[in-house]
Amino acid sequence: MTSLINISEVNKLTSEQFEWMFGNVIELCTEAAANVHKKIPFGCVAEFCDAFHQYLDDLPMEGKLVILKLHPDLAGRMAAAGQLTHESAVEQKCAGLNDLTKEQRDIIDISNERYKSKFGFPFIICARENKVQSIIDGLRRRYSNTRDQEIATGINEVKKICKLRILDLVKDD
């Protein structure tokens, strides 16, 4: 984890520095960081988080779908191949997804594929706020949602992930 910087230091970053530091608070979306940088200065970390959340809220439906599709499957092939972003790898490990039993892995793999087939994007849940069983339960429960409900739920989960990633990097003055 990077050492924390103050919000006043965030306000002094060049656009390149800002994008480098915050380009993955929304998974693989440097565009979000570029957009939020234009809103400097921020008075506090909460205001900073709100700017990223507002970016997500302002996206048209197709933009929201792009964001959702940037996320990897939980405990999927990318994780097994060591191809996750550093942040995703840490989050999935925190949830216990690196230590699945064969039965749990099979359930998650089948559920992930079923979910993606129905909705057209990966199942997204804030792994740092969940453990293996709650993730499995979420996959099962949310499968009965409509696509619109899942887009909204997925974006809300992205907001939770984003906030935690920001709190790993930034503190108030």
Q: Active-site residues: which are they? A: 71
Q: How far is CA 68 from the centre of its chain?
A: 9
- Residue 114 CA to residue 80 CA, distance in Å, equals 19
Instruction: Name the token pair of 32.
Output: 């979000």
Instruction: Name the token pair of 158.
Output: 């992205």
* Angular region, 42: left φ>0, alpha ψ -120 to 50, beta rest: beta
Residue type, 3: S
55: Cβ–Cβ under 8 A, 6 or more apart, which residues?
Answer: 26, 32, 35, 36
- Residue 96 CA to residue 124 CA, distance in Å, equals 16
Instruction: Name the token pair of 125.
Output: 């849940």
